[in-house]
Chains A and B, each alone.
Chain A
Amino acid sequence: SAVISQKPSRDICQRGTSLTIQCQVDSQVTMMFWYRQQPGQSLTLIATANQGSEATYESGFVIDKFPISRPNLTFSTLTVSNMSPEDSSIYLCSVEEGSYNEQFFGPGTRLTVL
């Protein structure tokens, strides 16, 4: 399976600032996904990022708050903009690969907003 890395692994940020999370994959993948896991909760899909096209956002998530870039087939970034304490979560990058489109996850970025 693909090896997925994320930077930073964790961060503590001030309210009103923005943080960009990077996701790097060791192989070329068509579809990349960004998820949020709030404390004690399950995973919620934020958006799907395909290379060469605009990201597709799920209900409740908007581009102004969570802009995503996908410049090539191995890399993506998610920015959490104008942060508030409610944005404190683990943000996970995921990729789909294999003949059965299995989905694999990165280690996550633990964000705390003060």
Chain B
Amino acid sequence: AQSVSQHNHHVILSEAASLELGCNYSYGGTVNLFWYVQYPGQHLQLLLKYFSGDPLVKGIKGFEAEFIKSKFSFNLRKPSVQWSDTAEYFCAVKGMDSSYKLIFGSGTRLLVRP
């Protein structure tokens, strides 16, 4: 069965600091990978996605993520965070070979201090 691990549960950064949130998954076949963001009081939004091709994908608001197949990882990065990036970030994986289910990690709460 597929699973997703997010290593950082809470991250606190100052504005302009660089961000990297870890995500590792467990699944033996082809996967689609996603990062979702949930801003305070708002609903879940798709931040970026990987389906195939270039393993470095760019999303909205300056976020990017790199798929490293050998490490089963899909870490989220942003070179310089802003106060408005304060949110909860969820990594999610969908196994494409036999399961259509989108499985979420436990989430990372990011607090950016002005």
Contact = CB atoms under 8 A, between A and B. Distances in A.
Pair from one complex: yes
Nearest to A43: B104
A105 B90 CA distance: 13
B8 to A, nearest CB: 14
A1 B43 CA distance: 14
Interface stretch (A65-73, A77-85, A95-103): A95-103
Size class of B's contact patch?
10 to 19
Given A31-B100, A45-B101, A101 B94 contact: yes
A91 B103 CA distance: 16
Nearest to B51: A100
A71 B85 CA distance: 39
Main secondary structure on A side of the interface with B: strand
A93 to B, nearest CB: 10
A42 B104 contact: yes
B32 A100 contact: yes
A55 to B, nearest CB: 13
Interface of B: 32, 34, 36, 43-46, 49, 51, 90, 94, 100-107
21 contacts: A41-B107, A42-B105, A42-B106, A43-B90, A43-B104, A45-B101, A58-B101, A92-B44, A100-B32, A100-B49, A101-B32, A102-B34, A102-B49, A103-B34, A103-B94, A103-B102, A105-B43, A105-B44, A105-B45, A108-B43, A108-B44
Given A44-B104, A48-B101, A104-B46, 20 more contacts: A33-B102, A42-B104, A42-B105, A42-B107, A43-B90, A43-B104, A45-B102, A45-B103, A58-B101, A100-B32, A100-B49, A100-B51, A101-B100, A102-B34, A102-B46, A102-B49, A103-B34, A103-B46, A105-B43, A108-B44
